[in-house]
Each structure stands twice: as C-alpha cells, then as structure tokens.
Homo-oligomer: A and B are copies of this chain.
Amino acid sequence: MSAGRLPCAILGAGGYIGQQFARLLADHPAFAPPRLIGRDRGRRRTLEDAWVLAEEPPADLARRPIEPATPARLAAQGIRVVFSALPSGTAGPIETELARRGIAVFSNAADHRLDPGVPLLVPEVNADHLALAGPPRAGRGLLVTNPNCSTTGLVLALAPIVPALRPRAVHVTTFQALSGAGYPGVPSLAIVDNVVPYIPEEETKIAQESVRLLGRRRGRTVVDAPFPVLASCARVATRDGHLEAVTVEAGRRASLDELERAWAGFDPLAGRPLPTAPHPPVERHPGVDRPQPLRDRWAGRPDRARGMAAVVGRVRWDPPYLRFFVLTHNAVRGGAGGSVLNAELAAERGRLGSGRE
C-alpha cells in the first residue's frame, strides 16, 4: 500500500453500488485499498462470494472479507474516509455518527441529501457547494452526498445550457436500468417483456435534488434554481445505464449553435487533478439513434473515468422547446463514481487532510 493513500472503507460493500465502489477504489491513487464493511451473515463471506456485477471483481480485493464494523471501530482503526453504499433509511444515523467521529463520509444514500450543511455535489456542476459544509476543523468529519442516479445525468446535461436557456420548466422522462434498484432488486417476472412506470420516490428526488444542484449558493445556504423539474420515471429491462428524454421549456431563445457550443466547451474540471473526472464530462453524440444504454454507458475518458461521462444526443430545438436524450451509467456516474469524484474534489480542496496509513 503506497504511503500517502488515505485509509478508507466501503459501507454496504456486498451490494451493487458497494461493489462498484470496490471496482473504482481497488487501485486508486488517493485512497488505500478499502476495508469492506457489510452485515454479519453468520459466516465468512468475501467480496467474491457476494459479487453480483457482470464485470469481474477486482483481483486485489476479491478475497477480502466483508465484515461488520461499528463507526467507533472504524474510527479506532484509523479509517479516514468512508464511502457509503448503505440503503437509504439505514444510512442516515450511521453516517452522522461517522462524521461526528471525525471521518469524511461520501454517501450515495438519500438520507442527508437535502440537509442544510450537507453538500449535495456533482463536481462539474456545483463544486462550490462543498463550502456548505463549513470550514474544515481539526477532528471534525465531513458529510457529502451525491444525488439520485437519475438526477446526476440530468444536471450534467442541463448545467451547460441553463444560462443560455433560462428554463421556465424542465420535463424529464426516464428509462431506468435494473441496477438502479440494487440486487436482488427488480424480479425478472416483473420486467421481462414489460416496462414499469413507477419507481418509489424517484420523481420527487429528481424534482428536489435537481433544483438544489442547479441552485446558487449564498454563504452556507442554497437558493434553488427558479424553475420546476417534473419527472416521469419508468423501469425498463436494461442492465445498466439510465436514459432520459428531456424537454426544456426555455425562457430565452438561444440559437442552437449557442447551445452546442455550451455543451462542447463544458469542462469545468479541466486541468484539475481529479483522476475519476471525465474529460469532457458531457459527450455530444452525433448518431441519429444515440445515446443508447448498451453502447454508451461506459463513456468517459481517461480509462479511470469510464462510465463517468454523460452522453447527450438527438438534440431538437423548436423554440421555446429544447428536446434531447441523455444517458449516464447509473451505478458509476450516478452512484459510486459520483461519490468517488466528490471525495477527490474534497481531497483536492484540502478537506481530507494528508494521507497517512
């Protein structure tokens, strides 16, 4: 383990998002190979035993055990950073407790996303919201959340063009992948030869989180973006990759060229040393029938950023209505990868102290 990498742990390492964290952190330049925390099942269980992703488990972590651990234990063992893939509901109090013990928590769970004082972050969109957490103080932890998996792709696609369009409203219909429900998640009998036009709480999360992410920070509060985001969410039988059909009701008549340039020029993290950041973060696909989950979910360069880019396509501009599709890998960009990038941002901003194992 190289000196300087921060000791970290994954909570909920046995689940779909937890395993994506393991993939992304198996060989990370800033974080040491993670401890894998999960429920006690009464028998020793390794990452490999629990593995549910189609991709192979990372060789270096495959035989590590998934073990229970309390916040106190993790703090005592010197864990400095925790990536939380706990289910919403369970996550809340545990994450609070970890932060209270001085640990920096990067969470995919919904529990704290709308809390005042907890940054809800997509680094390319609202990196300055990190300041909501207040100034760093010795021994004080940190709690940072990434948004709901559908929200991430939406705000990445919107952020570049919101200034030009000044939306009056945004309408989004989602085609969400199976992995968005975790494992075991959606029963096969519910979805083979079917679409389910309902995902509990999803439409509300998109509505609330989008306007917060696109909102303006004033000191330690956020003024939400001044337009509603109305979602209609459905589950389809794709494995990974949330596709979204977006219609923006524009308040300003930008030219299509202006919009295309806004997307093309969007790379706010360019030149910044965040290894998981994709460049560009929003890929504009020229294909007549793209983006597609199967073909575009792993978009993102460099290699470490595979699955981190949003792909925008089929742009149609009939003022005042702008329509397009956007796709992101829900479990990478919209899940574990989002929190890893948030942690990289925090590290770059000096919020994680120096690494020492």
Contact = CB atoms under 8 A, between A and B. Distances in A.
Interface string A214-250: 0000000000000010101010111100010101010
Contacts of A173: 173, 232, 245
A292 interface: yes
Contacts of A271: none
Contacts of A234: 175, 243, 245, 325
A290 B197 contact: yes
B197 A325 contact: yes
Given A175-B175, A230-B321, A314-B198, A183 B189 contact: yes
B239 A193 contact: yes
Contact of A178 (B175, B188, B228, B236): B188
Given A234-B175, A247-B230, A292 B188 contact: no
Contacts of A191: 188, 192
Interface string A149-178: 000000000000000000001010101001
Contacts of A294: 54, 193-194
A110 to B, nearest CB: 19
A192 B195 contact: no
B186 A179 contact: no
A256 interface: no
A185 B185 contact: no
A256 to B, nearest CB: 16
A137 interface: no
A270 interface: no
